[in-house]
Chains A and B, each alone.
Chain A
Amino acid sequence: MIIQEDAIMLKILEYLFLSLDFQVKAVESFTEIELEDQHVFYDVVITDILFEAISPTEFIINLQESINTDNIIVVSNMGQEKVRKNIFALPGVKGFYGIPFDMDLLKQQIEEL
């Protein structure tokens, strides 16, 4: 599962996962997630944290309530140290990448999971 508002980043990440033989569901925002998605278990969820009308931590908590997963990795434009700390304090968050970043690191982390 990939949630990214930026279409280009979304597509690149989608292809990254396809190349690693994952089945991918890529959506642009949280609202696009459908009911049946909630019954699937996702190996990894890559998500942005910058959305309208919701704070980053709240968003992650909401996400965890509605989606079955153990691994959440954040890829976001919002890379400040404070936000990063808050997000990492939540359980289940395995990584935080502030744009710009090196995708090889992300790839490596996913392969190690």
Chain B
Amino acid sequence: MGYVLRIVIEFLFIALIFTWFFIAIVLYVKKKSKKSYQRIEKVFAEIVGLHLYGTGTKNKSVKGIKRTFLAVGVHQGNPVNVQTVIDLMIRTQRMILGKNHEKLKLLYPQLPPYNTSIKKVRSRYWYNKARGIREIYEMSQSQYLQEILPYRNHKNLYVRREAQIALVVFLGWKSLRFLPYVKKNFTLWQQIKIVEKLHDLYPKIEVHFLRKAYDVDTNHGKELLMRIIRKFQIYEEVDYIVFQLAAEDSDVRLAALDCLSSFSLNLSQLHTLKSLFWNLKNSEQQELAVKLINEAEPETDVSFYIQLLKHPNDSIKLNSAEILWNNGYKEEVEQFYYSQYQTVAD
């Protein structure tokens, strides 16, 4: 009995020592990699700082930059360090807007990520592809645009998404003319990302490219266009959103209502909205529409709201009663509700 116990204790003791050993190694490796990260960060910061605000004499040549990078271990044989530089580049690019953003664009093609990104794009796996495309557009390596272009219809959602964002980053408003050819759908997140990129990088509105994209027949394409119109507050194009209320797809209609709430409508738009009201089959959407109509109209359209009083949805009924009541049409409301009592009494 004692013999077995001893073996067990010995075994546990050895396991414990191995664990300690392992922890020590991990700590050591982590410390070392952290140190090298900080070293690269420092060198990189120096280069970016000099590039943006350096005085003439201290500015480094491309060869000098390469040599300094080599000194801290950034070379082709060490993909981890190269990846670190790429991450730093993306981080920096994101911190800065305006003229310096453009200046960084000039610097980045000179830095040596050794085609890592484009190699990733050529990789067989979708996650590598998507990551590579993202790195390329974040670092504005526009020389690879032709190679990225075909991926906009890729079968994988993420590859497709990054490729489309890349198109927007490189081509701006012009990229919208590709929209009718994008047959696969894209997510809400992607739409937001595209709109944001467009807004950050190409603040000048080019409506003619937008109009060219109106042929788009996918639901997500339509939603994207509406979100662009809203983000840039393009008043001339509000009609497009209003007409999307006639769409078959419930999501498109919802997006249209959502976008319309940021605009004040004119009379003809209001008229279209009212005529399309009964096309909104979903009562939640109808409720939103009632709110919009009420905000937009200069005078209360009594007959329209009286019609709504007979709506099967209670919330819409109450809303329209409230609107009528607040605008001084108490009698109409009272009459409607009394008439109900009468039918019950009968």
Q: Pick the most buried of A15, A16, A18, A100: most chain B CB atoms within 10 A of its CB.
A: A15
A7-B41, A7-B42, A8-B44 known; A14 and B49 CB under 8 Å? yes
Query: Please, what's the 1-or-0 string for B83-124, where 1 marks a CB less than 8 Å from any CB in chain A?
Result: 000001001101111111000000000000000000000000
Rounded to whole Å, the gap between the CB of A5 and the closest CB of chain B is: 12
Cα–Cα, bound, A84→B41 (Å): 29
With an 8 Å Cβ cutoff, the count of chain A residues facing the other chain is 19
Contact B100 A103 (CB under 8 A): yes
B334 in the interface, Cβ–Cβ < 8 Å? no
Rounded to whole Å, the gap between the CB of A73 and the closest CB of chain B is: 16
Q: Which residue of A lies closest to B38 (CB)?
A: A7
Rounded to whole Å, the gap between the CB of B57 and the closest CB of chain A is: 13
Contact B97 A11 (CB under 8 A): no
B15 in the interface, Cβ–Cβ < 8 Å? no
Contact B45 A19 (CB under 8 A): no
Give every chain B residue within 8 A of A100 (Cβ-Cβ).
94-97
Contact A9 B52 (CB under 8 A): no
**Size bracket of the B interface:** 20 to 34
A90 in the interface, Cβ–Cβ < 8 Å? no
Contact A18 B53 (CB under 8 A): yes
In-complex Cβ contact of A11 among B38, B49, B98 (8 A): B49
Contact B95 A15 (CB under 8 A): no
Give every chain A residue within 8 A of B91 (Cβ-Cβ).
8
Give every chain B residue within 8 A of A11 (Cβ-Cβ).
42, 45-46, 48-49
Q: Give the 5 A-B CB pairs with smallest separation, nearest first.
A: A102-B98, A11-B45, A15-B49, A15-B53, A11-B49
Q: Which residues of A approach B to under 8 Å, CB–CB?
A: 6-12, 14-16, 18-19, 99-105
Known: A7-B42, A12-B45, A15-B52. 11 other contacts (CB 8 A): A7-B38, A8-B92, A11-B48, A12-B48, A12-B96, A14-B49, A100-B94, A100-B96, A102-B97, A103-B52, A103-B99
Q: Which residues of B approach A to under 8 Å, CB–CB?
A: 38, 41-42, 44-46, 48-50, 52-55, 88, 91-92, 94-100
